[in-house]
Amino acid sequence: MEVKNISQFGDVNSIIDDIRNTVGDKKLYVAFSGGLDSSVVAVLSKMALGSEKVELVTTKFDFTYPQTIEIVQKFSSDVGLKHVFVDGSEWQKKIWKSGPACNACTRGPKLQSVKNYAKDGIVATGAELEDTWGQQGIKINDGIYSPISHLSRSQVREMANFLNLKIEKIGENSRREGCILKHLLKMMTSEYHNKAVYESNVQLMKIIKMHLMNFSIANVKIIGPLSKNFALVNLQPFPDPDTEFLKEVKDIIGSIPQIEKVEIIDRPIKLKVIANPGIYNDEKARYWVENGRLKPDFAFPISVAWQISKNDRLNTFQVVDYEFIY
């Protein structure tokens, strides 16, 4: 991959110096998702240390988007860096049995699996200023290093353009999907839930690709009580309702044995959310679940009706029902 002359972009030089000083004579392992942030860190690390001292490590899950594997392998080949997969599937499933927990998954199997592989080396992440890590102002802690934690998302994107990096999109979210399991909004207590969320989202991607369509949001949220899976299909911009596309989406996803009912979200919706006492009794936690976790992935406005959970196995929350707001 051709990289432009770095002297035109002052902050690149300071980051390269910081990487060299931080890593020293050790090896750097980049926790690599193939997204914007980790791709920028991968290239800057190679520029700082050379290809022999940098390795890209991707934690692979059973719920990794199929195209992720191809994308990360192609990127590592293009930039000339060694790449390996480490597995975090069983750890992830154990976490999700107690409810949706993306942050716990990132801190646990996603990062720790890379750290276990790296042994005494330093693990670099793509955490930037808008992530929790960046907001805390911590650049390195317990062997995990974030060289771009002082940069905003727009600055990272500007740097990627400067470095001539093309970031392939995974899924149809304009912010780029990471893991299919994020669309399971309930406890994952059996294969019944696993298969519903995986098959519905993979099938949706296939239909979109076949019709040569593009969306800023396209996902299938799996909600409902533990005994039933309801599939809520989110598409933005909303396609022409008179075409066969929506009927095909509903028919194919509805044919998945583990799915009870399919709805194409075409108007505002109210979600019934059961939360464990820690979240239910914390106004800030409820706000984050509603506005940070749920709203960004829905195609239409949502509201939430909260209810405290009596299930002591639920560590976070689950969406058990819905109604359209007319």
pLDDT of residue 134: 44
Instruction: Assess whether pLDDT exceeds 80 at residue 191.
Output: yes
The three-state secondary structure class of 281 is coil
pLDDT of residue 183: 95
Buried b (16+ CB within 10 A) or exposed e, 126-151: bbbbebebbeeeebeeeebbbbbbbb
Residue 45: which of 76, 86, 89, 69 has the closest Cα? 76
pLDDT digits (tens, 9 = 90+) for 136-153: 556 787 889 999 998 988
Q: Checking DSSP bridges between strand 261-264 and strand 269-275, what pairing results, if any?
A: unpaired
SS (HEC) of 289-324? HHHHHHHHHCCCCEEEEEEECCCCCCCCEEEEEEEE
Domains of the chain: 6-162 (3.40.50.620), 180-324 (3.30.300)
- Give the C-alpha separation, 49 to 28, whole Å: 9
Stronger pLDDT, 88 or 172, i.e. the higher one: 88
Strand order in the sheet with 317-324: 302-308, 269-275, 317-324
Chain Cα centroid distance, residue 35: 9
- Give the C-alpha separation, 274 to 184, whole Å: 14
CB-based contacts of 14, cutoff 8 Å, min separation 6:
none
- Give the C-alpha separation, 31 to 302, whole Å: 33
Q: What are the angstrom distances between the C-alpha of 229 and each of 11, 99, 171?
A: 49, 15, 22
Q: How confident is the model at residue 10 (pLDDT cuts 50, 70, 90)?
A: low
pLDDT of residue 18: 95
Angle, to 10 degrees, between the axis of helix 153-162 and the axis of helix 10-23? 100
Residue 96: which of 288, 317, 290 has the closest Cα? 317
Other beta carbons less than 10 A from residue 36's beta carbon: 19
pLDDT of residue 274: 98
Cβ(312)–Cβ(98) under 8 Å?
no
pLDDT digits (tens, 9 = 90+) for 99-146: 998 888 888 888 999 999 999 899 999 988 765 554 455 678 788 999
Residue 57: which of 139, 134, 144 has the closest Cα? 144
Average pLDDT over residues 205-223: 92
